[in-house]
A and B are shown apart, each in its own frame.
Chain A
Amino acid sequence: DQQVKQNSPSLSVQEGRISILNCDYTNSMFDYFLWYKKYPAEGPTFLISISSIKDKNEDGRFTVFLNKSAKHLSLHIVPSQPGDSAVYFCAASAANTDKLIFGTGTRLQVFP
């Protein structure tokens, strides 16, 4: 049973536009959420995170939104750049655990 779901395996966006990547979760005990970016043949790189006490966190071009009632979070990238082309993983953690539960990833392609 997958607790973290990324239902869109791929997304294609034009350079300069907004990219919106979505993530849903089922475990109401999750209280911390993270986004990672992964290039081929490399390890994931931490991008941005959000605690369940917040509904928005922003870092430069990246903003994460959390809707706890819907058990949904999203990552907004604006403006999108060709270098943003990668696989993006959503991850979640429950309080007092040391584990991250990952989604299956969304492949973002930003074209000129």
Chain B
Amino acid sequence: EADIYQTPRYLVIGTGKKITLECSQTMGHDKMYWYQQDPGMELHLIHYSYGVNSTEKGDLSSESTVSRIRTEHFPLTLESARPSHTSQYLCASRKGLGTYEQYFGPGTRLTVT
């Protein structure tokens, strides 16, 4: 089983606040991903990274930003939270070439009031 951690698990915050969702993995995986998921919907890729100093936007446009300064750490930041950002945010990592399986963290449930 993969070791990938996300904090906080739940966050309720007011409009306009800056937030950072943390994601860390201890497996040394190069590839990391952020997904956004609403109830009853598919997971949408919003950011991914191939390694340190590599970040790309995903298929779903997002106002969030990410950074990858260390292999194990892939935080996501929202500069000014809005109610439309209310969702579940899932972080995942993948070993690399030859494998397609992504391993997910427990997610952060974000509510913006």
Which chain A residues have a beta carbon within 8 Å of chain B's beta carbons? 2, 4, 9, 32, 34, 36, 41-46, 49, 89, 93, 98-100, 102-105
Identify the closest chain A residue to B109 (Cβ). Answer: A41
Residues on the B chain within 8 Å of A104, using CB: 40-42
Out of A43, A89, A98, which one reaches B107, CB within 8 Å?
Answer: A43
A89 touches B50 (CB 8 A): no
Identify the closest chain B residue to A6 (Cβ). Answer: B42
Q: A32-B100, A99-B48, A99-B59 are in contact. Are A43 and B106 (CB under 8 A)?
A: yes
Can you sample 26 A-B contacts with CB below 8 Å? A32-B100, A34-B100, A34-B101, A41-B106, A41-B109, A42-B107, A43-B92, A43-B104, A43-B106, A44-B43, A46-B102, A46-B103, A49-B100, A93-B100, A98-B31, A98-B50, A99-B45, A99-B59, A100-B100, A100-B102, A102-B43, A103-B42, A104-B40, A104-B41, A104-B42, A105-B40
Which chain B residues have a beta carbon within 8 Å of chain A's beta carbons? 4, 6, 9, 31, 40-43, 45, 48, 50, 58-59, 90-92, 94, 100-107, 109
Identify the closest chain A residue to B97 (Cβ). Answer: A98
Q: A9-B40, A98-B50, A99-B45 are in contact. Are A43 and B90 (CB under 8 A)?
A: yes
Residues on the A chain within 8 Å of B106, using CB: 41-43
